[in-house]
């Protein structure tokens, strides 16, 4: 086998392994909303594949390791083997104090590592899923995120667009368009905070169109504001 053939074969093998790993483990949702009225929250992890996976789960902040010792949640089980065709439910329990007048944002990480025989020399790729974990206090459980979205204020600042959230909910964006041009990597704005996103080149502002992602991961109504 010549060098080119070996390279192509290696690339195809790696691509196949990555595809298998992606297809192997499915996390039941794009976010977890922890209802302050409940004792715990949960997320399902499903393995429709025939390959067993080692599942490792943990919770951190946007800054990851910087506040690792202050995470007010525990997740159980944090480490387990998930057989092919099986499903497990991970439970999240609040163990510390969080603000009761606004939502708090953390991140749930689930890493899936495919098992391999000792005689198998193929490269095994671990796939990590990272989704939002939003704690919603008891006083805020009756919510319409699309209604809250109308209170967001927008302004152009240099080569960025700024959005201010005067409310008490984490507002995640499905999309943001400025004069019809899409803002890349438009993520979210925290409660009582301001977030900034780079404007597309040569965009002078004028109007902004945006959509909010709801509790179930779906995209809500279209909202329009002038800037």
Task: Please name the residues in contact with 138: beta carbons below 8 A apart, sequence gap of 6 or more.
Answer: 36, 37, 100
Which H or E element spans position 148? helix 145-149
Residue 112, CA atoms < 13 Å, CB-side half-sphere: 27
Straight-line distance from the first to the last Cα atom of the chain, in angstroms, rounded to the nearest whole number: 61
Q: Is 63 exposed, middle or buried (0-12, 13-18, 19+ CB in 10 A)?
A: exposed
Reduced to 3 states, what is the DSSP secondary structure of residue 151?
coil
- Strands 127-136 and 104-114, bridge-based pairing: antiparallel
Q: What's the pTM?
A: 0.83
Summarised one tens digit per residue, pLDDT across range 112-149 is 999 876 555 666 688 999 999 999 999 997 789 999 99
- Per-residue pLDDT of the chain (227 residues), as tens digits, is 554 444 443 444 343 333 433 457 999 999 999 999 999 999 999 999 999 999 999 999 987 655 556 899 999 999 999 999 999 999 999 999 999 999 999 999 999 999 876 555 666 688 999 999 999 999 997 789 999 999 999 999 888 999 999 999 999 999 999 998 999 999 999 999 999 999 987 777 689 999 999 999 999 999 999 98
What structural domains and CATH numbers belong to the chain? 26-139 (2.60.40.10), 145-226 (2.60.40.10)
């Amino acid at each position: 086998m010549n060098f080119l053939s070996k390279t192509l074969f290696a690339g195809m093998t790696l691509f196949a392994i990555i595809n298998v790993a992606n297809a192997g483990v499915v996390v039941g949702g794009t976010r977890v909303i922890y209802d302050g009225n409940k004792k715990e929250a949960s997320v399902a992890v499903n393995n429709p594949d025939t390959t067993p996976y080692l599942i490792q789960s943990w919770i951190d902040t946007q800054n990851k390791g910087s506040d690792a010792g202050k995470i007010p949640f525990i997740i159980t089980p944090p480490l387990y083997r998930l057989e092919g065709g099986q499903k497990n439910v991970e439970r999240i329990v609040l163990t510390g104090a969080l603000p009761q007048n606004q939502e708090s944002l953390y991140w749930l990480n689930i890493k899936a590592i495919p098992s391999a025989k000792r005689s198998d020399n193929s490269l095994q790729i671990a796939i990590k899923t990272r989704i939002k974990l939003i704690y919603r206090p008891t006083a805020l459980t009756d919510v319409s995120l699309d209604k809250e979205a109308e209170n967001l204020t927008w302004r152009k600042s240099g080569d960025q667009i700024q959005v201010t959230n005067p409310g008490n909910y984490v507002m995640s964006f499905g999309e943001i368009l400025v004069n019809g041009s899409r803002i890349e990597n438009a993520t979210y704005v925290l409660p009582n905070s301001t977030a900034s996103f780079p404007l597309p080149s040569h965009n002078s502002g004028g109007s902004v169109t945006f959509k909010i992602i709801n509790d179930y991961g779906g995209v809500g109504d279209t909202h329009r504001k002038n800037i």
